């Protein structure tokens, strides 16, 4: 029977330290205890209730990272509402889609504008609050004016929706992944156990909190472990380096680690007190992994997940990944399989489409029927990623299915080429795409960024690859760029590159 008290906030509260005066968040001019979390989230829950929010209503937020912004999320959980975090960089046009689709009762925005207000009114939003980058605004005023901190957390079934997160929408209009209290609780508790996060840990947090990585992975694990969080508004390598000696944990995207490696201060002595570095949201280049281990003595733990599924795999703490693209093993409670185009499960070591089933996997997209495109008949979610699973269970990610290159009828996996190109001396990173070709259908095309002072040519790149891969995989074109286009979480936007070189 499903539990009737499965509210995710209630689970967090059950793990708070016995000493509620222990610090949860600290940072520049910020000190928030676990008792503050309980009282402030209750007061803000009352604010939501007084503005008409009922269980199941959506609360949308397009705000910068702040304690009040995080408190809004916790208050929405307590109220049994559905939290909709939105990227502060989204345009008014994009916001009109998000608001129209989710139809929130309350919308909290950082930068009020006529266009945003018009989109909110068109979506039927009854109340608009403002919360600026410093944590001020009329939402903060309403929180300060609310004195009642005795609100009861609404009891919900585990299947009740807790959040809607919109996918990046690189191939179409973004869809809202609808995640339940049980989805989020299972994934967070699994990660907390796997990564052994507890009250002795101090998490250095420099991620945004509108995204799975910064909110559902990092902060959920900290709350369940009763840990302390150094809460930085944004990533800045100099500030992160200054705070590393105070921390035991750091979670980041590959771009963070690349930037940290650019600083001479990063060394073993600085990181002596660190227990764990974790990377996610995009593939970690092999050179970054090896260079970081050499400089700091720490092997970054790589993991893999999606907005729709939470985290699915992780490399174990006791040993590092074996090669580029290695994303470790399936988490407890996660079933993974690799299938061909006909839906047949492939043998270990064969590459194909990655499918997943488990308690952390969402039940579908908001306001959309389940379709065969997304789910198989036996309930596996089609991730859209290509992978192979060794007999040991170790998973290697081969890239997105839409990024697969078919040249002259041959399948070419970009990740294989990118790992080889990234290992060439003088190369910082690369992206391999398929560009239209009248003879071959698609031509393998490499877009490469170089280290300062490197003077490589397209011929140099091809010569370095020659003999290491079949000739049909060799890039027919190599382009150099100062940087590769990325989204907010550091993923390379290959669709933009395909458009550029089409």
* Strand ranges of the sheet holding 351-358, from the earlier edge strand across to the other edge: 334-339, 351-358, 381-389, 395-400
Question: Residue 14 falls within a domain, yes or no?
Answer: no
Question: Residue 21 falls within a domain, yes or no?
Answer: no
If one counts the domains in the chain, the total is 3
User: What confidence score (pLDDT) does residue 134 get?
Assistant: 86
Considering the domain architecture, whether residues 84 and 150 belong to the same structural domain is answered as: yes
User: What confidence score (pLDDT) does residue 1 get?
Assistant: 38
CA distances from 19 to 15, 16, 359, 375 (A): 11, 8, 32, 45
CB 204 within 8 A of CB 217: no
User: What confidence score (pLDDT) does residue 111 get?
Assistant: 80
Considering the domain architecture, whether residues 106 and 164 belong to the same structural domain is answered as: yes
CB 215 within 8 A of CB 278: no
Question: Residue 28 falls within a domain, yes or no?
Answer: no
User: What confidence score (pLDDT) does residue 437 get?
Assistant: 80
Considering the domain architecture, whether residues 420 and 494 belong to the same structural domain is answered as: yes
Contacts (Cβ under 8 Å, ≥6 apart) of 365:
175, 176, 177, 178, 374
Question: Residue 192 falls within a domain, yes or no?
Answer: no
User: What confidence score (pLDDT) does residue 109 get?
Assistant: 95
Provide the domain limits for residue 426.
404-500
Considering the domain architecture, whether residues 73 and 139 belong to the same structural domain is answered as: yes
- Of 355, 378, 401, the position where a domain reaches its end is 401
Cα 301 to the center of its chain, rounded Å? 15
User: What confidence score (pLDDT) does residue 28 get?
Assistant: 86
- Of 352, 374, 401, the position where a domain reaches its end is 401
Considering the domain architecture, whether residues 245 and 329 belong to the same structural domain is answered as: yes
CATH number of 436's domain: 3.30.300.30
Considering the domain architecture, whether residues 175 and 65 belong to the same structural domain is answered as: yes
Considering the domain architecture, whether residues 307 and 350 belong to the same structural domain is answered as: yes
- Of 157, 180, 203, the position where a domain reaches its end is 180
User: What confidence score (pLDDT) does residue 372 get?
Assistant: 80
CB 211 within 8 A of CB 280: no
User: What confidence score (pLDDT) does residue 171 get?
Assistant: 46
How does DSSP classify residue 440? T
Question: Residue 262 falls within a domain, yes or no?
Answer: yes
Q: Which positions of the chain have pLDDT values less than 50? A: 1-2, 169-171
Question: Residue 20 falls within a domain, yes or no?
Answer: no
CATH number of 370's domain: 3.40.50.12780
Considering the domain architecture, whether residues 359 and 493 belong to the same structural domain is answered as: no
CB 224 within 8 A of CB 231: no
Give pTM, 2 decimals: 0.86
């Amino acid at each position: 029977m499903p539990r009737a008290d499965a509210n995710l906030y209630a689970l967090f509260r059950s793990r708070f330290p016995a000493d509620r005066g222990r610090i949860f968040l600290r940072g520049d001019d910020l000190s928030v205890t676990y008792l503050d979390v309980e009282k402030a989230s209750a007061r803000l829950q009352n604010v939501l209730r007084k503005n008409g929010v009922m269980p199941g209503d959506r609360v949308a937020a397009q705000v910068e990272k702040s304690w009040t912004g995080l408190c809004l999320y916790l208050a929405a959980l307590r109220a049994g509402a559905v939290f909709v975090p939105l990227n502060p960089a989204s345009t008014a046009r994009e916001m009109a889609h998000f608001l129209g689709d989710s139809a929130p009762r309350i919308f909290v925005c950082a930068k009020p504008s006529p266009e945003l207000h018009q989109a909110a009114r068109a979506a039927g939003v009854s109340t608009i609050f403002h919360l600026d980058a410093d944590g001020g605004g009329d939402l903060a005023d309403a929180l300060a004016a609310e004195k009642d901190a005795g609100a009861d957390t609404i009891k919900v079934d585990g299947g009740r929706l807790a959040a809607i997160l919109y996918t990046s929408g690189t191939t179409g209009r973004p869809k809202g992944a609808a995640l339940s209290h049980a989805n989020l609780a299972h994934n967070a508790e699994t990660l907390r156990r796997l990564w052994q996060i507890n009250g002795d840990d101090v998490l250095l947090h420099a991620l945004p909190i509108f995204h799975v990585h910064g909110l559902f992975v990092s902060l959920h694990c900290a709350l369940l472990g009763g840990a302390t969080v150094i809460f930085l508004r944004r990533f800045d390598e100099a500030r992160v380096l200054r705070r590393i000696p105070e921390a035991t944990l750091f979670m980041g995207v590959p771009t963070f680690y690349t930037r940290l490696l650019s600083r001479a201060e990063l060394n073993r002595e600085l990181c002596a007190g660190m227990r764990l570095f974790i990377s996610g949201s995009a593939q970690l280049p092999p050179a970054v992994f090896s260079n970081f281990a050499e400089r700091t003595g720490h092997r970054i733990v790589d993991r893999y997940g999606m907005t729709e599924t939470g985290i699915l795999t992780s490399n174990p703490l006791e040993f590092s990944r074996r090669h580029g693209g290695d994303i470790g093993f399936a988490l407890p409670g996660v079933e993974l399989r690799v299938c061909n185009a006909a839906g047949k499960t492939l043998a270990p070591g064969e590459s194909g489409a990655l499918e997943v089933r488990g308690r952390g996997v969402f039940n579908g997209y908001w306001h959309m029927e389940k379709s065969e495109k997304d789910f198989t008949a036996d309930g596996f979610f089609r991730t859209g990623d290509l992978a192979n699973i060794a007999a040991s269970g170790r998973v290697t990610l081969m890239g997105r299915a839409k990024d697969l290159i078919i040249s002259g009828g041959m399948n070419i996996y970009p990740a294989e080429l990118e790992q080889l190109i990234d290992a060439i001396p003088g190369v910082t990173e690369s992206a391999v795409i398929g560009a239209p070709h009248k003879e071959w259908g698609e031509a393998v095309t490499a877009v490469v960024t170089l280290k300062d002072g490197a003077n490589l040519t397209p011929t140099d790149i091809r010569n370095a690859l020659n003999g290491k891969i079949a000739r049909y995989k060799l890039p027919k074109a190599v382009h150099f760029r100062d940087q590769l286009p990325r989204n907010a979480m550091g993923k390379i936007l290959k669709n933009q590159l395909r458009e550029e070189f089409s």
